[in-house]
């Protein structure tokens, strides 16, 4: 039951993403031939006036097939005959929809159960923060050179530096102060801590909830790029990376924990999906975004057949990577 809920939630994220492409294709007068949720063998479909709506077996993706998006067509409604700016608007709409969904979901969650603000509620005696003079009521603004907008930002920064000294900037009664703190490792929880508890905002108003939705989404984007930096620097391993199986498992656990937990994880994955798709790699939205920006800036059009060939290779690499990550998920699952 919970796994079904997780699959449905993951499917909704894909639908929202593809809906962005679909809507902007229609706005720009592009003929859409297929709108598919899922990949692989077709389960069933409905034929509309000009678009076939499909549900496929594997809930690991989806696509919008437009006339002229994989080669040349003489039809004026073909994707390849639209201006680079119009094509860019169609491609970038998918990731934007996922970011918007993230903002909406985080806002709903904040309104329903509140959130933790980066304001010190209490400090643990004799722990690094208390020793450094940080007190309840202090608002944390920066850790080293990184701006702190959410409590998650603060936790991430402490985790990232490990046991190295960090410079915490905070505001007390309108005055900016600084303290140098060396995190201590909590062996029981196997993580570094400075001994600070954040302040729970229990009943935010509508404006605060929406503001939190934007701030949390922005924070998550920053945290994701920080993780990429850690991953490519060798400080994290591919064992920390999960694929579809891991996503469904965690989604199922989130669904079991309650609707708000499922919404929170869905918001997280929605933002991750947006970021992944803007990576400038062939067959991803980011590859097309890079291409169309190049055409807009240089005024030179890249041959459609060459683009199609490169995207086929990129798609094959992505599918191979998907298989590898899925097998890894099954044989060597992430342990929590």
Taking only the tens place, the pLDDT of each residue in 216-225 is 999 888 877 7
The position carrying tokens 């929202």 is 16
- 70 part of the active site: no
Beta bridge pairs of residue 79:
none
Contact 142, 148 (CB under 8 A): yes
Same domain, 96 and 21: yes
User: How far apart are alpha carbons 311 and 283 in whole angstroms?
Assistant: 5
Q: Which among 151, 61, 139, 82 has a CA at the least distance from the CA of 114?
A: 151
pLDDT at 221: 87
pLDDT at 276: 86
Same domain, 90 and 232: yes
Same domain, 105 and 124: no
Same domain, 98 and 2: yes
Is residue 74, in this structure, part of any structural domain at all? Answer: yes
Which element (helix H / strand E) includes 290?
helix 285-298
The total number of structural domains that make up the chain: 2
Contact 287, 42 (CB under 8 A): no
Residues shown for the chain: 336
Give the model's confidence band at 323: pLDDT under 50 very low, under 70 low, under 90 confident, else very high. low
pLDDT at 326: 54
Out of 173, 201, 229, pick the residue that ends a domain. Answer: 201
User: How far apart are alpha carbons 70 and 314 in whole angstroms?
Assistant: 13
Out of 152, 169, 201, pick the residue that ends a domain. Answer: 201
Is residue 318, in this structure, part of any structural domain at all? Answer: no
Q: Which among 264, 322, 278 has a CA at the least distance from the CA of 9?
A: 264
Same domain, 166 and 50: no
Model pLDDT for residues 75-106, shown as the tens digit of each residue: 999 998 999 999 999 999 999 999 999 999 99
Is residue 175, in this structure, part of any structural domain at all? Answer: yes
Same domain, 190 and 213: no
What six digits make up the tokens of 157?
């920064």
Same domain, 1 and 149: no
pLDDT at 250: 56
Same domain, 86 and 150: no
Helix, strand, coil proportions of the chain in percent (round to 5)? Answer: 55, 20, 25
The position carrying tokens 């669904």 is 255
Most confident of 3-7, 53-57, 252-256, 302-306: 53-57
What six digits make up the tokens of 137?
């009521």
Helix (H, G, I), strand (E, B) or coil at 291: helix
Catalytic residue among 18, 33, 50, 197: 18
Same domain, 101 and 21: yes
Q: Which among 93, 92, 36 has a CA at the least distance from the CA of 66?
A: 36
Same domain, 44 and 172: no
Model pLDDT for residues 122-149, shown as the tens digit of each residue: 999 999 999 999 999 999 999 998 899 9
Is residue 173, in this structure, part of any structural domain at all? Answer: yes
Out of 185, 201, 217, pick the residue that ends a domain. Answer: 201
Contact 198, 119 (CB under 8 A): yes
What six digits make up the tokens of 134?
């940080």
Residue numbers of the domain that contains 161: 115-201
Model pLDDT for residues 220-278, shown as the tens digit of each residue: 888 777 766 666 665 555 555 555 545 555 555 555 667 888 888 889 889 988 998 99
Same domain, 173 and 99: no
Contact 139, 121 (CB under 8 A): no
Same domain, 147 and 160: yes
Task: Look up the pTM and report it.
Answer: 0.80
Check whether 290 has a pLDDT greater than 90: yes
Model pLDDT for residues 21-35, shown as the tens digit of each residue: 999 999 999 999 999
Is residue 272, in this structure, part of any structural domain at all? Answer: no
User: How far apart are alpha carbons 88 and 27 in whole angstroms?
Assistant: 13
Extract the runs of DSSP E, i.e. beta strands, from the chain.
Answer: 32-47, 52-66, 115-123, 139-143, 146-147, 166-172, 175-181, 184-186, 191-193, 196-201
Interior/surface letters 127-149, b for 16+ CB within 10 angstroms, e for the rest = bbbbebebeeebebbbbeebebb
Q: What is the dihedral of CA 163, 227, 154, 101, to 10 degrees?
A: -160
Strands 146-147 and 166-172, sheet pairing: unpaired
The position carrying tokens 């990429």 is 228
Interior/surface letters 258-288, b for 16+ CB within 10 angstroms, e for the rest = eeebbbbbbbbbbbbbbbbbbeebbbbbbbb
Mean pLDDT score of the chain, rounded to an integer? Answer: 84
CATH number at residue 164: 2.30.42.10
Is residue 329, in this structure, part of any structural domain at all? Answer: no
Is residue 332, in this structure, part of any structural domain at all? Answer: no
Contact 292, 276 (CB under 8 A): no
Check whether 215 has a pLDDT greater than 60: yes
User: How far apart are alpha carbons 210 and 223 in whole angstroms?
Assistant: 20
Is residue 283, in this structure, part of any structural domain at all? Answer: no
């Amino acid at each position: 039951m919970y796994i079904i809920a997780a699959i449905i939630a993951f499917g909704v994220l894909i639908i929202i993403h593809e809906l962005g492409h679909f809507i902007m294709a229609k706005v720009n007068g592009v003929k859409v031939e297929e709108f598919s949720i899922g990949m692989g063998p077709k389960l069933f479909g409905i034929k509309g006036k000009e678009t076939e709506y499909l549900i496929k077996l594997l809930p690991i993706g989806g696509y919008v097939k437009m006339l002229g998006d994989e080669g040349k067509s003489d039809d004026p409604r073909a994707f390849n005959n639209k201006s680079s700016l119009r094509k860019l608007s169609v491609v970038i709409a998918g990731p934007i929809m996922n970011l918007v969904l993230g903002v909406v979901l985080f806002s709903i969650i904040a309104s329903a159960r509140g959130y933790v603000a980066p304001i010190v509620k209490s400090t643990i005696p004799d722990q690094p923060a208390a020793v450094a003079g940080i007190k309840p009521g202090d608002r944390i603004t920066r850790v080293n050179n990184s701006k702190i907008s959410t409590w998650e930002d603060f936790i991430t920064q402490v985790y990232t530096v490990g046991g190295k000294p960090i410079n915490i900037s905070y505001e007390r009664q309108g005055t900016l102060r600084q303290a140098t703190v060396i995190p201590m490792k909590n062996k029981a929880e196997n993580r570094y801590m400075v001994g600070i508890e954040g302040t729970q905002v229990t009943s935010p108003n509508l404006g605060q909830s929406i503001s939190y939705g934007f701030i949390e989404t922005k924070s998550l984007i920053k945290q994701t790029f920080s993780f990429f930096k850690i991953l490519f620097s060798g400080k994290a391993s591919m064992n920390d990376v999960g694929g579809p199986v891991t996503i469904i498992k965690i989604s199922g656990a989130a669904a079991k924990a309650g609707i708000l937990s499922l919404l929170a994880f869905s918001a997280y994955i929605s933002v991750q999906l947006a970021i992944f798709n803007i990576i400038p790699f062939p067959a991803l939205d980011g590859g097309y975004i890079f291409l169309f920006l190049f055409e807009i800036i240089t005024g030179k059009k890249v041959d459609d057949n060459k683009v199609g060939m490169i995207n086929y290779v990129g798609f094959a690499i992505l599918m191979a990577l998907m298989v590898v990550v899925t097998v890894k998920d099954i044989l060597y699952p992430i342990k929590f």
